[in-house]
Structure 1
Amino acid sequence: MRKFVTRGLTLGLVGLLLIPALATAHGPSRLKVMKEVEIDASPEKVWAVISEFCSIQDWHPAIAKCESDGSHEKGTTRVLTLENGESFTEEMLKHNDEEMLYAYRITEPNHDAVPVGTYGSTIDVNAGENGGSVLSWKGFFYRAYPNNDPPPELSDEAAENAIINIYDSGMASIKELAEQ
């Protein structure tokens, strides 16, 4: 009986010691960024600024060039080239003019351009107060580094800050263009 109790206590102690190690062994967690901005322009006017999949080159200050076949069909891809020359590829998942939204994902990531491994996003326009609009942009993603202890440039914080900067600068530009 005494051996049984001793073994049970030993196994229990070993189990307790392993819990912290198991809790940190899972790798990156799914991250999300959600942003909204009120725009003093009709939803139709805001949608006209962003509705074309490659119009991002006209309204996002970091995008130097967008290449696509011009389609709004699911599966359409666009190659975005940043001002610094880095590029990455995104795929249209959904485009709906009536709902004024589109969803897309990065299919060919470039960690030097955006430090994320997987990334999916939706941008949409809804009616706001007094004839205005609310532009929403949300994304779900994982950092670029798949293991524990990432280098600073591939960390959760780096990924989250990159997406926040993309959204903030893009939304400020959309607001400015739509309110003209």
Structure 2
Amino acid sequence: MPTASSVIEIPVPADQVWQLVGGFNSLPDWLPLITKSEPGEGGRVRHLTTADGGVIVERLQTFDNVARTYSYTIEQSPFPVSAYLATLQVEALTESSAKVTWSGVFTPAAGTEDAAVEALFAGVYNGGLEALRANFPA
């Protein structure tokens, strides 16, 4: 099963980063790719709209506010994958810096190249975390 991940350090306290990314419905607040997020099922599902009009439906699987992490699956998307499970985690490196990890595992659809799909998600994760860091100018 292919995996993709990205890690970034941000020079602010982990709790401050988590305050921005920790809400399951907060993607439009920091991820330019996502322009709209509508909650469903009491906040366990998010209906996302991408900048190009695409629709993605994701389901929250685990959430731990103390450990500053959550995992989610994709129920509907334009991506050629199934069995997708991603995790977003914010860890304290020091009192004034954080490490953010965004990772996922998935099964590419038949006929797609594992490397191409992995690059797609790595690109989303890398670009997303760079956009996140831009919210915290040094």
> Identity rate of aligned residues, in percent?
25
Corresponding residue of 1:78: 46
The alignment's TM-score, normalised by the length of structure 1, stands at 0.71
Q: Which amino acid aligns with 2:82?
A: G
Aligned equivalent of 1:67, options 3, 26, 38: 38
2:135 alignment partner, SS class: helix
Gaps of at least 5 residues in structure 2 are: none
Give the direction of change, closer, same or farther, for the CA distance of 1:130–1:96 in structure 2 (3 Å limit): closer
Aligned equivalent of 2:96, options 115, 131, 135: 131
Aligned residues of 2:13 and 2:95 also touching (Cα < 8 A)? no
Aligned residue pair count: 138
Greater relative contact order (Cα < 8 A, sep 6+)? 2
Inter-partner Cα distance in structure 2 for 1:49 and 1:158: 30
Aligned residues of 1:53 and 1:70 also touching (Cα < 8 A)? no
2:132 alignment partner, SS class: helix
RMSD: 1.7
Matched, 1:164 2:129: no
Gaps of at least 5 residues in structure 1 are: 1-29
Corresponding residue of 2:24: 53
Aligned residues of 1:125 and 1:136 also touching (Cα < 8 A)? yes
Farther-moved stretch of structure 1 (38-47 vs 122-131): 122-131
Would you tell me which structure has more strand in proportion to its own residues? 2
The alignment's TM-score, normalised by the length of structure 2, stands at 0.91
Would you tell me which structure has more helix in proportion to its own residues? 1
Farther-moved stretch of structure 1 (97-106 vs 57-66): 57-66
TM-superposed CA distance for 1:117, in Å, is 2.0
- Once superposed, which parts of structure 1, at least 4 consecutive aligned residues long, lie more than 3 Å away? 69-72
